[in-house]
Structure 1
Amino acid sequence: MTSTKTYGLVLTAFGAAIIAVLAQITIPLPLVPITGQTLAIGLIVTILGLKYGTLSVLVYCLLGAIGLPVFTGMSGGLSILVGPTGGYIIGFIPTALFMGWYLNKFGYTYIHGLIANVSGMMITLAFGTIWLKFVADMSLYAAFMAGAAPFILLEMMKGVIAAWVGILVRHRLLNANLLKLV
């Protein structure tokens, strides 16, 4: 039993670490930067599934919330979560829950991975846009134009990549007996 718990902790920590590393890939824009975070969320949940994928996202968010520099630009702290980009980070949690639930229900195939990842990217954008509206005191239209519209195509492309790579890696790890989802 202890080895099962330890294995789950290692998977969760590994997932959170991958998200933290990919979060450092960034292209700065005036209000909301383009980052590798959403790609990382998609990859981790697609590879690890609902339980460990979502736990990885929760750990990542908590590590950043307590001040560890895991968010974009080696930043962390509650000020990030209550700032203009906080809604995107908070949105990672329902994104992971939805993606993991969807993949568990419909199967870990490329088509379902694609649906889960693209939908997940849109969930993150929706949370971020609504948050941006309130934090930056913008109209919903202005928040959408600043915080979602410029990213929709890019997020869809990240969803395609996360689905393709995630499903491929998941199947290879399972086939090689290197991933045991308990």
Structure 2
Amino acid sequence: MATVSAKQNSGMSALSLVYCGMFAALMMIGANITSFVPFLVVGGVPITLQPFFAVLAGLILGSRLGAISMVVYATVGLAGAPVFAKFQGGFAQILSPTFGFVISFILVAYIAGKIVEKNGSLQSYILAGLVAIVVSYLLGTNWMYFAYKLWAKAPDAFTYKVAWAWMIPPLPKDIILSILAGVFGRRMYKVLKVRRRR
């Protein structure tokens, strides 16, 4: 019995790794949609599908595995793989004004996962997506503002209000996709039956 149990645990661990890798790969794809539609860049901030996949990772995998999948994505990018927006990568990206959004995706997945772990209703899934996006905007936009003010070359007439004005174009898209992520994430969780480890 002990041997069977060990095998089962090993199988779940392997499956969890597959799921984490899958969402890390989806983040890499979602980051570079601007390569096909380059007009989706406002004030140097690319409009990507990363928030959607980060939310989905948390909703489906749970807080722990969802956050791990985002850590994997960030680590691969910092290691030099061109997986960040506009096919950028390398440790120097930590100084990028938009790197705060990459960090925020870890929190996005964790927070979204935590909310649905406590309540699995459809309303909770949608709420989780919306709350997570708010966190992403808060961390990402403030990082961008201070980056431009402290170490990056700020555009002319750049202010805190301008930084937030740049977030207006992607906002409707992220709100809609967060709601869709809630609906889709709940269905996919029931289909995949991922074992969430808290």
Distance 1:110 1:68 in 2: 37
Quote the offset at 1:44 in angstroms. Answer: 1.6
- Specify the SS of the correspondent of 2:86: coil
8 Å CA contact 1:44, 1:53 repeated in 2: yes
The structure 1 residue matched to 2:26, chosen from 11, 18, 22, is 18
Return the TM-score normalized by structure 1. Answer: 0.87
Distance 1:103 1:34 in 2: 26
Distance 2:196 2:97 in 1: 36
Partner of 2:141: 129
Partner of 1:167: 186
- Specify the SS of the correspondent of 1:150: coil
Amino acid at match of 1:173: L
Aligned: 1:3 with 2:11: yes
Return the TM-score normalized by structure 2. Answer: 0.81
Distance 1:24 1:166 in 2: 22
- Specify the SS of the correspondent of 1:141: helix
Quote the offset at 1:120 in angstroms. Answer: 0.8
- Specify the SS of the correspondent of 1:136: helix
What are the Cα deviations for residues 150-177 of structure 1, in whole angstroms up to 9, with x where unaligned?
3322211111121121112111222xxx
Identity of aligned residues (%): 27
- Specify the SS of the correspondent of 2:87: coil
Distance 1:170 1:5 in 2: 17
8 Å CA contact 2:31, 2:49 repeated in 1: yes
Distance 2:41 2:169 in 1: 13
- Report the structure number with the largest CA radius of gyration: 2
Q: What is the number of residues matched between the two proteins? A: 176
Quote the offset at 1:181 in angstroms. Answer: 4.0
8 Å CA contact 1:50, 1:101 repeated in 2: yes
Instruction: Flag structure 1 segments of 5+ consecutive residues without an equivalent.
Output: none
8 Å CA contact 2:141, 2:164 repeated in 1: yes
Partner of 1:90: 103
8 Å CA contact 2:61, 2:195 repeated in 1: no
What are the Cα deviations for residues 122-156 of structure 1, in whole angstroms up to 9, with x where unaligned?
1111111101111112532222122x233322211
What's the Cα RMSD here?
1.7
Distance 1:123 1:115 in 2: 12
Instruction: Flag structure 2 segments of 5+ consecutive residues without an equivalent.
Output: 1-5, 35-39, 150-157
Partner of 1:80: 93
Distance 2:159 2:118 in 1: 37
